[in-house]
Amino acid sequence: MDSRERSLVVVSAGLQQPSSTRLLADRLAAATGAALADAGVPLRVETIELRDHAQDLVNHLLTGFPSPKLEAALRSVVDADGLIAVTPIFSASYSGLFKLFFDVLERDRLDGMPVLIGATGGTPRHSLALEHAVRPLLAYLNAAVVPTAVYAASEDWGQSERPADDSLGDRIERAAGELVRAMAVRERVATVDGFAEPVPFDQLLRSGSGD
Ligand SMILES: Cc1cc2nc3c(=O)[nH]c(=O)nc-3n(C[C@H](O)[C@H](O)[C@H](O)COP(=O)(O)O)c2cc1C
C-alpha cells in the first residue's frame, strides 16, 4: 500500500434506488479524491449505505450489540481519515436512519474527525436543516465539521448525473477542498512526536495548490 494513501468513509442514508442522496455522496467523494489527487495523495473510499444496515441498527439499539457487519461499518468510520455524511431531509431534519447510525457510535469515537455534511431534499427551502440539525448532531459528537455543507434539492439535478445548477458543482468543490485541508490539519495535530518526520501530507497539499 502507498504510505501516502488516505481513507475516506462515505455514509449515505438514502432510501430510494437510485438514490439522490447516494448521487450527492458520490459527487462529494469524487471531488475529494480529485483534490487529493492534485496533491499526489491517493484516496481509498469506502461507501456505507445505511439502508443495508437498517435492521441491524434497530437490533443494536434494542440489544446493545452490533452485528458483525454493522460493527465492521462502525469501525471503518472510526478508523477513517475523513468522513462524508449525507442524509435525505425528512420532516425538515435528518432521516431517522441517519440519526440511528450516529446514535450507536460511542460519543468520543468521532473526536476531531474531519466531516463533510450533505443533504438532499424535495424542496430548496429546507437547505438550512443542514445547519440546524445535521451540523449540531456532528458537533455534539466532537467531529470537525467543515464550514461548507452541501444541499441538493430535486431541482438541482438535471436529466444527467451532473447537477443542473452550476453553483451546486461549485459548492461540492469548495466543500471537498475544505475536507482535504481539514484532513491535513488533523494529521499535523496528530503528529506531535518531535522525532517523527511530520507533514508530508500538507506539504503535498501546498505543492498541489501551487503556493
Ligand atoms: C417521509 C419523507 C419525508 C420527507 N420530508 C421532506 C422535507 O421535510 N423536506 C424536503 O425537502 N424533502 C422531504 N422529503 C423528500 C426527500 O428528502 C427527497 O426525496 C430525498 O432526496 C430522497 O432521497 P433518496 O433519493 O436518496 O432516497 C421527504 C421524503 C419522505 C419519504
94: amino acid identity, one letter: Y
User: Does 209 sit in the ligand 1 pocket, CB within 6 Å?
Assistant: no
91 lines ligand 1 (CB under 6 A): yes
**pLDDT-based confidence at 197, cuts 50/70/90?**
low
Mean residue pLDDT across the chain: 90
* 82 Cβ closer than 6 Å to some ligand 1 atom: no
Atom of ligand 1 minimally distant from the CA of 123:
11
Tell me which CATH homologous superfamily contains domain 6-209: Flavodoxin domain (3.40.50.360)
Check if 15 has its Cβ closer than 6 Å to any atom of ligand 1.
yes
Per-residue pLDDT, 59: 98
Counted residue by residue, the chain has a size of 211
CA pair distance 157, 140, nearest whole angstrom: 31
* Averaged pLDDT, 55-68: 97
Other Cβ atoms within 10 Å of 56 Cβ, number: 20
CA 125 to ligand 1 centroid distance, Å? 12
Residue having the nearest C-alpha atom to atom 25 of ligand 1: 19
Mean pLDDT, residues 202-207 taken together: 64
In this prediction the pTM is 0.90
Tell me, using a 6 A CB cutoff, whether residue 148 lines ligand 1.
Answer: no
**What percent of the chain is predicted at pLDDT more than 90?**
77
Substitution candidate for ligand 1 out of 48, 86, 95, 120 with most atoms within 8 A of CB: 120
pLDDT score at 180: 97
Cβ–ligand 1 distance for 23 under 6 Å, the answer no
Q: How confident is residue 190, by pLDDT bands cut at 50, 70 and 90? A: confident
Q: Residues 28, 118: contact at Cβ < 8 Å?
A: yes
Give the range among 38-47, 78-87, 194-203 with minimum mean pLDDT: 194-203
| Residue 21 near ligand 1, beta carbon < 6 Å | yes
Q: What is the pLDDT of residues 19-39, one digit of tens each?
A: 999 999 999 999 999 999 999
pLDDT at 65: 95
Rounded to the nearest angstrom, the distance between the alpha carbon of 129 and the centre of ligand 1 is 12
Whether ligand 1 lies within 6 angstroms of the CB of 129 is answered as no
DSSP for 112-157 reads T-EEEEEEEES-GGGTTHIIIIIHHHHHHTT-EE-S--EEEEGGGB
Answer yes or no: is the C-beta of 126 below 6 A from any ligand 1 atom: yes
Residue boundaries of the structural domains of the chain: 6-209
Answer for the pair 146, 115: CB distance below 8 angstroms, yes or no: yes
Q: How far is the CA of 59 from the centre of ligand 1 (A)?
A: 25
Give the pLDDT of residue 106: 87
Structural contact between residues 149 and 134, judged by C-beta atoms closer than 8 angstroms: yes
Per-residue pLDDT tens over the stretch 72-130: 999 999 999 999 999 999 999 999 999 999 999 988 899 999 999 999 999 999 999 99
Beta pairing partners, 163: 157
- Please give the residue that has the higher pLDDT: either 21 or 198: 21
Q: What is the mean pLDDT of residues 43-52?
A: 98
Our separate counts of H helices and E strands in the chain read 8, 7
CB 137 less than 6 A from any atom of ligand 1: no
Query: Residues 11, 99: contact at Cβ < 8 Å?
Result: no
